[in-house]
């Protein structure tokens, strides 16, 4: 198959969507497909054999890390030379409108996928009154596609309830070869704890942005004697968080990738994830693959990954005391913590990227064979 991928975010940016897309592009190419990626220009021209067509963009005012790239007429010539069998829109927004237009004008089947719960993000930026309008715009775009993919059953329910049609779940994936419990290191633990390797070490990995609700970790940190917190990642909310956590033993470690990120997961005592807006929470699977017990809000796509008391703990997202109690329980019971580590790793091992990409190929084949899609 020849697949033209339109995405509003791609390498060299670091986030869960880019992680999924980079692994997907890699595995599609390995499986014999050809991929062309249209994305905001990040300086790349090729990735794992796939051509990258970078479109000049400008920073989003509310979120400077994200770029908005406007569709250009030259994209049509590139598409006509590539001759795609289908077009896949990832989180269609501005650039995605170009993909939608060209799919219609070139009569190419269209797939769309939903990865970021944008309507719920609005309230964290003072724009909650626009949620209904955004859902209508999303419905207008997504309902042009032959199939709409999302990353959890919770998001499938949310999209369907807001009038988006033909919704299916694209299964999760994680690199179990990179993220392993064996990467645990006392040296890494000493660094992340700023010289206190014997203290309880709490970890957060992800964007430092308002919708992640990282402030909700502070009561957990304060409730546990001698605990240390490390925040791995960066983002537009970092300065505010540095002020908010200024009087606490919190270390802002910046971005980490590869084995450095895997070692951070494996060396921590608990991964704390308070966000209530996750479509999936890929970073949770990475923590679990590295054997790091997860304590997360029981919201969004998270319950699809974490089974409370089996491979992690879930807490009521409206109850800060629940996160405190779960963390205290985890740290007070070494045997139970070890069981959670083992079960977390076993769960992650079920979800390799090859299987997730094979499932995506099956969705593509269904779109290219309308009779199959109608039968489904």
Could you please report the per-residue DSSP string of 63-123?
EEEEEEE---THHHHHHHHH--SEEEEES-SHHHHHHHHHHHHTT--EEEEE-S-HHHHGG
**Sheet containing strand 270-273, strands side by side:** 250-254, 228-232, 201-205, 270-273, 294-297, 312-315
| pLDDT score recorded for residue 283 | 92
In DSSP terms, 87 is beta-bridged to 4, 110
Contact 86, 63 (CB under 8 A): no
Contact 148, 114 (CB under 8 A): yes
Cβ-in-10-Å burial (0-12, 13-18, 19+) of 249 comes to middle
319's CB contacts (< 8 A; 6+ apart) are none
CA gyration radius, the chain: 21
| pLDDT score recorded for residue 120 | 66
| pLDDT score recorded for residue 44 | 94
39's CB contacts (< 8 A; 6+ apart) are 6, 7, 8, 9, 10, 52, 53, 54, 55, 69, 95
Domains of the chain, each with CATH number or no CATH: 2-173+352-375 (3.40.50.2000), 181-348 (3.40.50.2000)
Cβ-in-10-Å burial (0-12, 13-18, 19+) of 58 comes to exposed
DSSP SS3 for 51: strand
H or E stretch including 46? strand 46-47
Taking the chain (376 residues) in consecutive chunks of 10 residues, what is each chunk's mean pLDDT?
A: 96 89 96 97 95 90 76 94 97 92 96 82 65 86 96 91 96 92 97 97 94 94 96 95 97 95 97 84 92 93 91 91 95 94 94 92 93 52
Structure tokens at 292: 């790091």
Alpha carbon 188 to chain centroid, angstroms: 25
Of the candidates 313, 178, 339, 349, the one whose C-alpha atom is nearest the C-alpha of residue 258 is 178
Distance CA 55, CA 38 (A): 7
Contact 253, 198 (CB under 8 A): no
264's CB contacts (< 8 A; 6+ apart) are 188, 192, 203, 205, 230, 232, 253, 256
Count CB neighbours of 332 within 10 A: 10
| pLDDT score recorded for residue 205 | 96
Residue written as token pair 């004697």: 225
Give pTM, 2 decimals: 0.79
Of the candidates 354, 367, 372, 353, the one whose C-alpha atom is nearest the C-alpha of residue 1 is 367
Backbone phi, psi, residue 180, to 5°? -140, 145
């Amino acid at each position: 198959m020849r697949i033209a991928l339109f995405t509003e975010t791609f390498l060299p940016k670091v986030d869960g969507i880019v992680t999924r897309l980079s692994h997907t592009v890699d595995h599609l190419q390995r499986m014999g497909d050809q991929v062309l990626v249209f994305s905001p220009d990040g300086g790349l021209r090729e990735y794992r054999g796939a051509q990258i067509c970078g479109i000049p963009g400008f920073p989003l005012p509310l979120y400077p890390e994200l770029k908005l790239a406007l569709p250009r007429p030259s994209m049509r010539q590139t598409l006509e030379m590539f001759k795609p069998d289908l077009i896949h829109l990832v989180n269609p927004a501005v650039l995605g409108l170009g993909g939608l237009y060209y799919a219609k004008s070139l009569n190419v089947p269209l797939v769309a996928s939903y990865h970021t719960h944008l309507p719920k993000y609005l309230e964290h930026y003072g724009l909650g009154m626009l949620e209904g309008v955004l859902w209508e715009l999303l419905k207008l775009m997504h309902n042009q596609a032959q199939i709409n993919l999302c990353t959890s059953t919770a998001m499938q329910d949310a999209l369907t309830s807001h009038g988006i049609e033909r919704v299916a779940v694209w299964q999760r994936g994680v690199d179990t070869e990179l993220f392993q419990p064996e990467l645990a290191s006392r040296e890494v633990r000493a660094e992340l704890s700023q010289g206190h390797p014997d203290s309880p070490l709490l970890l957060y990995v992800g964007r430092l942005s308002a919708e992640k609700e990282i402030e909700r970790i502070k009561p957990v940190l304060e409730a546990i004697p001698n605990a240390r917190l490390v925040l791995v990642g960066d983002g537009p909310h970092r300065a505010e968080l540095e002020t908010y956590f200024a009087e606490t033993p919190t270390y802002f470690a910046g971005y980490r990738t590869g084995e450095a990120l895997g070692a951070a997961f494996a060396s921590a005592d608990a991964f704390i994830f308070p966000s209530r807006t996750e479509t999936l929470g890929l970073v949770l699977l990475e923590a679990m693959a590295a054997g790091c017990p997860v304590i997360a809000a029981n919201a969004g796509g998270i319950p699809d990954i974490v089974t409370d008391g089996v491979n992690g703990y879930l807490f009521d997202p409206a109850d800060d005391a629940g996160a405190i109690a779960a963390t205290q329980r985890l740290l007070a019971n070494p045997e139970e913590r070890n069981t959670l580590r083992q079960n977390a790793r076993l769960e992650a091992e079920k979800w390799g990227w090859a299987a997730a990409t094979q499932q995506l190929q099956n969705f593509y084949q269904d779109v290219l064979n309308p009779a199959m899609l109608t039968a489904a």
